[in-house]
Amino acid sequence: MAEPPVRSDFVSRLRAVTQARIALGRAGQGLPTSALLDFQLAHARARDAVGAVFDTGGFSAAIGGREVIEVASCAPDHATYLQRPDLGRRLAEADATKLAATGDEVAFIVADGLSATAVAAHAAPLLLALFDRLPGWRVAPVILARHARVALGDEIGALLGVDLVVMLIGERPGLSAPDSLGAYLTWQPRPGRLDSERNCVSNIRPPHGLGYAQAADSIVWLMTEARSRRLTGVALKDERGASDGDRVEQRLL
């Protein structure tokens, strides 16, 4: 018995709330031309995002004239960075001399990661939203890190002597999300920290992902709780709005 066709009004409503590829149809044994061309365009955008160059010019002005310090990982070029993730986790020796203890509590690191496109689009407005929510915090100069992986923030944070590092980094592009920005929080950063010792707020990319205000609220909540509990990672969960029963369940997970 043939299955009933999918109602067009249902598909239209579903497409309005997701970027997922649904009900693409077919032409013989393949996709319709329009769906195929859309797929190829999305693939090209993802490849372009991976290969994009991190342009730091004008970044200080974009965040209200705050001081920035530019550093790089041990990866000498972009091709090597993509092939050698380990080099992206270590700070270039020459740049270590740019960083010294500041007496600040938190350092924000802006890193190209796997999508400089995401950083160019979202890092500056997200930082502005964060700065508006941080009265009472001592904030170090913003670090701009080229060819960086998340763990590079551990070494940077240790050199700065801060309690907390928040790294804003371009996430691996997908076929519907070439410009997704992630925020990784690490308490007491130092080389050797595990990924389980970090918190992440991901898919920051309005209008299709988290908006800047919503993302900033989540990050600041995690920052405040990290300072209070002196930890980040699997032991720290966003419990805002959860019932007492939910909180207990989350802590047991």
Q: Which of left, alpha, beta for 18 (phi over 0: left; psi -120 to 50: alpha)?
A: beta
Statement: residue 43 has pLDDT above 80: no
Ordered alpha helix ranges (H), the chain = 8-15, 33-51, 59-62, 78-83, 93-96, 116-131, 152-160, 212-229, 244-252
Statement: residue 250 has pLDDT above 50: no
Q: For residue range 152-192, list pLDDT tens digits in order.
A: 999 999 999 999 999 999 998 877 788 899 999 999 999 99
Per-chain mean pLDDT for the chain:
88
Within 10 Å of residue 42's Cβ, how many Cβ atoms?
18
According to the per-residue pLDDT averaged within each range, which of 172-176, 203-207, 236-240 is highest? Answer: 203-207
Statement: residue 7 has pLDDT above 70: no
For residue 94, name the pLDDT band (cuts at 50, 70, 90): very high
List, edge to edge, every strand of the sheet that includes 198-204.
68-72, 142-146, 106-111, 164-170, 181-187, 198-204
- Assigned CATH for 59-229: 3.40.50.11240
Q: For residue range 55-92, list pLDDT tens digits in order.
A: 899 999 999 999 999 999 999 999 999 999 999 999 99
CA distance 156 to 150: 11
Statement: residue 241 has pLDDT above 60: yes
pLDDT for res 253:
34
pLDDT for res 196:
96
CA distance 180 to 169: 9
Contact 201, 210 (CB under 8 A): yes
Domains of the chain by residue range: 59-229
Question: CA nearest 106: which of 31, 168, 177?
Answer: 168
CA dihedral 107, 110, 114, 117 (to 10 degrees): 160
